[in-house]
Structure formats: C-alpha cells, structure tokens
C-alpha cells in the first residue's frame, strides 16, 4: 500500500475527515517551504499539496497567483520542488505529499523523467489543473507504472458521463471542486459540493476531497460530513503573504492551522 492508501484507510477507521493543506513551493523561499511542510505534517495534515509555480495560473484566484509570482521571482522550477520533497523525506516526514501543477512545466521536464524522479524523492501523486481525462491517458499510464497517483479534478459542471471518465483515470483520491470558479477563500460553502460528492460516489470507491474556497474550521467540519477530506489553500497562502518576515511565517501558519482544526481532526497524534 502506498502512503495515500494508508492515510485514507486510517482516516476511515478513525472515522475522521482529512485535512489537506496547500502551499506553493518557494513562497516566500524554499527554506521556509521545507519548514512549512514539516510543520504541517506535525500539525495534523493528512496529505500535503505542494504547488509548482506557473507563470499563467488560469485556475487560480489572486492569492495563489501572487504566491506563484513570489516563487517565480526565486526562479523555482519543477526540479526544486522535487528536491524539497526529497529533503523532507530524509528528515523522516512520512505524510503523503502530492504535487499540484499546470501541465506545461511537467511537459517540459518530460513526463517519464518527472515520474521517475517523483518516485526517487518520495512524492506520492500529482494533480494537474489543466489536464482533463481526455488528455491524461499517456501520463496516467506512466504514473500507474510506478504506483504513483494521478489525482483528477471533478467540477460541479461535470456531467455524469464526464465524472465516469474522470474516475476511470483517477487514483489516490478524487478532488471535487466545490464551485465553478478559481481558487480563493470564500465565506460560504456552496451546496453544489455535496451534490457533486454524491454523484462521484456512484462512479468510484476512491476517497473524495473537496477544495476551493475552504478557509474556516466550520467549513471543514461541514465538508467532512459528506467528503473524506477538505483542502485548504488560499487561506494558508494568505497567512504566508501577510507575514513579511520569512522567519515568522512558520509560527503564523502554525497558529492558523491550530484554529482551523477542531479537536476531532487533530486530537489523535497522527504519525
């Protein structure tokens, strides 16, 4: 069993929802990213989503766009992101890590090389925001050959026919996008998310995580009533953004995550 399977099995047996934080690698710098991964792992993250910065992030709202710009100013590329994963594994971190990217940086790195280096450094899966099932065939086969997960996105606008195709390509878990739109914190959870998760369950036994717009403990609780995990991205990235001193970023994120996780998420010490 790979790390993702182990983690979701454990969540299930403990009847808990998972917490999946997202940060952009290299924002504000690589050393801080490494600290943040270790801290998030310790603070109760079930899976960590590590963003590969891209110059043209069409699926992202202003918060993550700005984070990608900060990372790109540090010239962070795919190889740096892989390297960071290797480093946290060397320090004993066993929390599943998935890479979150647009397709072009991976394509330029070359798909085979990307998959084998993921395997070498100990990354568990990858999610590509602009790779729909019709275009995912080659990459899916390459990843499957190495027991690496391809996390597919499903949207409220996806027809059942599309959900079926998505689930056929997906492994690890399925990422249900809570609403039509770009990433970014919202006050309300859309009712579409629950409906989407229900529809997805008809087509897959994989765990389902809900993301886009989740920023509070109450929203996480609500989502985990029907989904297996909740992704929190922009809200954490905003904490990073508003901390000018990079030495204080980790502490601020720790405080934020503590408020975010009600007891049932963080009570049991995880790893």
Partner 1 sequence: MNNFQPDERGYWGEFGGRFVPETLMSPIEELTDAYFAVRDDADFQTEFLNLLQDFSGRPTPLFYAKRLSERLGGAKIYLKREDLSHTGSHKINNAVGQILLARRMGKKRIIAETGAGQHGVATATVCALFGLECVVYMGTEDMRRQSLNVFRMRLLGAEVRGVDAGAKTLKDAINEALRDWVTNVDSTYYLLGSALGPHPYPLMVRDFQSVIGREARQQILEKENRLPDVLVACVGGGSNSIGLFHPFLADEAVRMIGVEAGGKGNNLGEHAARFNKAGGGKIGVLQGTKSYLLQNDDGQIALTHSISAGLDYASVGPEHAFLQSIGRVEYAMATDDEALEAFQMLSETEGIIPALESSHGIAHAVKIASEMPPDAIMIVNLSGRGDKDVDQVQEMLGK
Residue 154 sits in the site that holds partner 1 (CB under 8 A): yes
Residue 106 sits in the site that holds partner 1 (CB under 8 A): yes
Residue 134 sits in the site that holds partner 1 (CB under 8 A): yes
Residue 217 sits in the site that holds partner 1 (CB under 8 A): no
Pick 55 or 120: Cβ nearer partner 1: 55
Residue 253 sits in the site that holds partner 1 (CB under 8 A): no
Angle between helices 62-73 and 234-241 (to 10 degrees): 50
Pick 109 or 203: Cβ nearer partner 1: 109
Residue 107 sits in the site that holds partner 1 (CB under 8 A): yes
Binding mask 60-89 for partner 1 (x = CB under 8 A): -x---x------x--x-xx-----------
From the list 60, 194, 222, 228, the catalytic residue is 60
60 given a catalytic annotation: yes
Pick 43 or 234: Cβ nearer partner 1: 234
Which H or E run includes 23?
strand 18-24
Among 8, 19, 109, 256, binds partner 1 (CB under 8 A): 109
DSSP assignment letter at 245: S
Q: Residue 55: what are its φ and ψ, rounded to 5°?
A: -65, -25
User: Among residues 20, 15, 8, 1, which one has the least CA distance to residue 206?
Assistant: 8
- Judged by phi (left if over 0) then psi (alpha if -120 to 50, else beta), residue 15 lies in left
Q: Are 222 and 191 in contact (CB under 8 A)?
A: no
Contacts of 227 (CB under 8 A, 6+ apart): 17, 176, 193, 197, 208, 209, 210
Report, in Å, the least distance between residue 47 CB and partner 1: 20
Report, in Å, the least distance between residue 269 CB and partner 1: 36
Q: Are 230 and 219 in contact (CB under 8 A)?
A: yes
Residue 130 sits in the site that holds partner 1 (CB under 8 A): yes
Residue 129 sits in the site that holds partner 1 (CB under 8 A): yes
Among 24, 127, 143, 177, binds partner 1 (CB under 8 A): 177
56 given a catalytic annotation: no
Residue 56 sits in the site that holds partner 1 (CB under 8 A): yes
> Which residues partner with 210 through β-bridges?
176, 230
Report, in Å, the least distance between residue 133 CB and partner 1: 9
User: Among residues 15, 18, 16, 13, which one has the least CA distance to residue 173?
Assistant: 18
Q: How many CB atoms lie within 10 A of CB 159?
A: 9
How, if at all, do strands 18-24 and 208-211 pair? unpaired
Q: Are 230 and 19 in contact (CB under 8 A)?
A: yes
- Which residues are designated catalytic? 49, 60
The residue ranges that bind partner 1 (CB under 8 A) are 54-59, 61, 65, 72, 75, 77-78, 103-109, 129-132, 134-135, 152-159, 162, 166, 177, 180-182
């Amino acid at each position: 069993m790979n790390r993702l399977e182990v983690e979701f099995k454990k969540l299930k047996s403990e009847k808990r929802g998972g917490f999946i934080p997202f940060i952009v690698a290299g924002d504000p710098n690589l050393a801080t990213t490494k600290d943040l991964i270790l801290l998030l792992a310790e603070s109760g993250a079930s899976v960590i989503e590590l963003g590969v910065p891209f110059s043209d992030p069409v699926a992202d709202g202003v918060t993550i766009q700005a984070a990608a710009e900060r990372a790109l100013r540090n010239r962070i590329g795919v190889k740096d992101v892989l390297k960071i994963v290797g480093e946290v594994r060397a320090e004993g971190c066993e929390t599943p890590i998935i890479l979150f990217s647009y397709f072009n940086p991976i394509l330029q790195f070359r798909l085979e090389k990307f998959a084998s280096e993921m395997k070498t450094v100990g990354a568990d899966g990858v999610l590509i925001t602009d790779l729909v099932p019709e275009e995912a065939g080659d990459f899916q086969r390459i990843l499957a050959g190495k027991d690496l997960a391809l996390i597919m996105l499903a949207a409220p606008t996806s027809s059942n026919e599309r959900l079926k195709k998505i689930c056929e390509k997906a492994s690890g878990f399925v990422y249900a996008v809570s609403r039509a739109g770009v990433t970014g914190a919202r006050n309300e959870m859309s009712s579409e998310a629950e409906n989407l998760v229900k529809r997805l369950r008809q087509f897959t036994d994989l765990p389902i995580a809900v993301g886009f717009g989740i920023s509070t403990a109450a929203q996480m609780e609500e989502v985990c009533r029907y989904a297996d995990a909740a992704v929190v991205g922009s809200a954490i990235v905003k904490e990073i953004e508003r901390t000018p001193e990079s030495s204080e970023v980790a502490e601020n994120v720790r405080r934020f995550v503590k408020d975010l996780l009600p007891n049932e998420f963080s009570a049991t010490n995880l790893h």
